[in-house]
Each structure stands twice: as C-alpha cells, then as structure tokens.
Amino acid sequence: MATDYYGVLGLAQGATDSDIKKAYRRLARDLHPDVNPDPAAKDRFQEVSRAYEALTDPEKRRIVDLGGDPFDAAGGAGAGFGGAGFGGLGDIMDAFFGGAATRGPRSRTRSGRDALIPVELELDETVFGVTKEITVDTAVLCDTCAGAGTAPGTHAATCATCSGRGEVQSVQRGFLGQVVASRPCPTCSGTGQVIPEPCPKCAGDGRVRARRTISVKVPAGVEDGMRIRLTGQGEVGPGGGPAGDLYVEVHERPHEVFTRDGEDLHCRVTLPMTSAALGTTLNLKTLDGEEELDIRPGTQSGSVLTLRAHGAPRLRATGRGNLLVHVEVQTPTRLDGEQEKLLRELAALRGEDRADSHREAQGGLFSRVRDAFNGR
C-alpha cells in the first residue's frame, strides 16, 4: 500500500506548494537530529523529508496523486498504468504468457535515493556567500564488506531455486489453454544470487547508516527556499550502489533591520521634522559597513532613497541589487514652552498660522485630485 505522503506532513491532497513548504519547515525544526536527539525523532525526520521530496517534485507528486509510490519501482511504474503494478504492455503480456520476454536476473546493486536537508543562514551569509559545515545522517557504504553484503572471506552463491536466472515459472491451465507465468524468484528476490553468510555489520545490505559532517559552499546571492545540489552525497544504494544526490535547502533567517526582495534590500529610517526640512547627513550601517546617506532639505515622509549596489549579488548575472531606504518623518508630540513659541513664530513667518491657510492648502489638494479625475 502506497504511503500517504500528504498525511505524513499533516496535509490534505491538493495542498498548495506553499502549504507543503510551511508544513515541512514546521516539522523539520522540531525533528532535525541536531535539535532533537530522540531516535524516534530521527526516523520521523527521515519520513518527513521523504514526503517533502515526493510532493515538491512535479513528476513524483503526479505519481502520488495517482495512488502510487514514486520511491517504489513497482508502485511508481504502476501509477502510470492505472496503478496495476505493471511497467507497460510488455510486462502485462509477460504476466500472462511468461515466455514472451526473458528479463534475466536483476542486479543486487541499485542506485541510492536523493536526500534533502535544511540549513538556516543569516542574511549576510546568503548575500555574501559562506562555507558551512553541516551534519547529515544517511546510508553510507559498509566498510566491512565494501558493499558486497557478504561476511569477510565469503562470497555470494548462485540461487538454487532459480539456478541464477532470477525468475521462476509456473504452468497453469485456463480458457486460453496452458499458460506459463513468470515471476521474480522469491528466494533471491530476482537477483539470481543468495548470501549464505551475510556481513555482520550491514546484515547483507551493503550499506549502514552513519552521521557525517560535510562542507557546503553557499554561493553569494542565494535566496530563501533555493536548493544547493551536492552530487553523490545522498543515500548509498542497496548492495553498495552509487549514492544519490544531497540537496541542501536554504532557509534565510529574518533580519532585525533589513528585509529582502530578490536582489534588493529594504530598510526604514526615522527623521525629526527639522532634519527633514533642513537636510542632514546620516551614518547608515549597511551589510557592507557604514555609509553616508545624504538627506536633502525638504525630504518628505514616504520618500525612498537608493544606495546603489548595496543589495545582494545577482546569481546568474553580474552586479548587485540596491539598498532602498524608506524615510519616515517624525512629528514631535510634546513641546516645551520655548519650542512651542519658536514653532509659532515659524508658522507666522510662513503664513501658516491663519485658519484660511489650511483651507487654501486643502483646496489646492482637492483641486489637484479633481483635475486628475477629469484628465487635466
């Protein structure tokens, strides 16, 4: 029976990509071996990672939605033909007529699965790049038998049931007459060989689970949700088969000052109204260090100032994005007597102390709005 990968993540079939990503992140934070040493949590983390891989790959998700299992050779193929468990018309004919095509023994050595692991990075690490040491828990080649699965000094033997053919046949009588059916040998699982004395370390599988540390080079400009592929660093296959790939998914931690939008960074500064009116120079701390930001006289609240080439590098192009500084002008809420007197004098000098000055200002504003709607 196929695994309910949606249920593993606590989701219903038809969940969006965003829902799948959020569910995986929530579970991975609690179950990752670096956070939760409980052996049961480790097994659960592997199950969750497997479900995430199945539902984020379009082809594998299609197989899941059809009721198959993309990680099972029979289930994956069967999903493409109504879930019957056959790879195609040739397999169906073989099931009825047995001798139509002799496949022969299959190899004990098979390719390993890909693995997925999340890594959390700070904003400056994703912007400038970093080399991270990460711990992964995967199947690795058994160092006792070097993947052969046999105990030291012993070898695999030819299967006595199928004589090394990897399949057995049975003859049945039906409405079509005598039917010869062929199926994988139950003794050797279709490999044509058996292991009389399995390796004591890996129990004949040719691989063992182990925790190891590897270096991951994160390129400058990588964004949240992107995956870095490490070829051959995934799960070693049964029988010591070639390892799959390891995918490292980047999770960017929120920054206390800057927010990111692609290659651009955004931040917000608050100015006193006097500085906004008279102009000033700010010393702004950026990811590249301290920079001077020129505030021109008369700067309005909501203005956006640009520091060019102070954002993130472009991954597939040259140059960097920009740092966009959003300005907020702060109006004082409390004034002492002297400050109030000076502001009133300023208002009088600017002709802003009369009641009709406010009406004129409003009239001018509403005239502009009206003209905009009238197409003037």
For residue 63, tell me if it sits in a domain. Answer: yes
Which of 29, 56, 85 corresponds to the end of one domain?
85
pLDDT score of 151 more than 80: yes
In the prediction, which pLDDT does 231 show? 93
Q: Is residue 197 part of a domain?
A: no
Q: Sorting pLDDT into bands at 50, 70 and 90, what band is 310?
A: very high
Report residue 82's pLDDT band, with 50, 70 and 90 as the boundaries: very low
Helix, coil or strand: residue 20: helix
159 has binding-site annotation: yes
Task: Write down the pLDDT at residue 293.
Answer: 94
The CA distance from 328 to 333, in Å, is 15
Q: Is 202 annotated as a binding residue?
A: yes
Distance CA 27, CA 110 (A): 30
The residue written with tokens 């004098």 in the block is 345
Taking a C-beta distance cutoff of 8 angstroms, is the pair 132, 249 a contact? Answer: no
Domain-located, residue 236: no
CA dist 274 to 268, 330, 331, 346, Å? Answer: 18, 9, 9, 12
Beta strand pairing call for 167-174 and 177-184: antiparallel
Min mean pLDDT across 40-44, 126-130, 228-232 is at 40-44
Q: Is residue 148 part of a domain?
A: no
- Residue 165 counted as domain residue: no
pLDDT of residue 1: 55
Distances (CA, A) of 43 to 39, 135, 236, 238, 355: 7, 16, 17, 19, 74
Check: CB of residue 309 under 8 Å from CB of residue 320.
Answer: yes
Query: Is residue 78 situated within a structural domain?
Result: yes
Q: What is the CATH number of the domain that holds 64?
A: 1.10.287.110
Tell me whether residue 112 is in a domain: no
Measured distance CA(251)–CA(126) in Å, rounded: 9
**145 belongs to an annotated ligand binding site:** yes
| Residue 153 lies inside a defined structural domain of this protein | no
Q: What value does the mean pLDDT take over residues 111-129?
A: 94
Annotated binding residue at 162?
yes
Q: Say if residue 40's pLDDT is above 50.
A: yes
Query: What digits encode the pLDDT tens for the residues 330-350?
Result: 988 888 999 889 988 888 888
CATH code, domain carrying 323? 2.60.260.20
Q: Which two tokens stand for residue 46?
A: 């592997």
Which of 32, 63, 85 delimits the end of a domain? Answer: 85
Q: Are the beta carbons of 259 and 123 closer than 8 angstroms?
A: no
pLDDT at 366 over 50: no
pLDDT at 281: 94
Of 78, 70, 67, give the one whose Cα is nearest residue 50. 70
Please report which confidence band the pLDDT of residue 172 belongs to, taking 50, 70 and 90 as the band edges.
Answer: low
In the chain, how many domains are there? 2
Instruction: Indicate whether 217 pLDDT > 80.
Output: yes
Residue 79 has a pLDDT of 38
- 0.75 exceeded by pTM: no
β-strands 280-286, 264-272 pairing: unpaired
pLDDT digits (tens, 9 = 90+) for 51-63: 998 898 888 888 8
125, 219 contact by CB (below 8 A):
no
Could you tell me the residue range of the domain that residue 81 belongs to?
A: 1-85
pLDDT at 68: 79
Other beta carbons within 10 angstroms of residue 192's beta carbon come to 23
In this prediction, residue 34 carries a pLDDT of: 65
DSSP 35-68: T---HHHHHHHHHHHHHHHHHHSHHHHHHHHTT-
What is the pLDDT of the chain when averaged over all its residues?
83
Contact 108, 191 (CB under 8 A): yes
Instruction: With H, G, I as helix, E, B as strand and everything else as coil, classify residue 27.
Output: helix
pLDDT in tens, 287-301: 999 999 999 999 999
SS3 category, 31: helix
Domain end (from 50, 85, 120):
85
Which segment of 173-187, 257-271, 334-348, 351-365 scores lowest on mean pLDDT?
A: 351-365
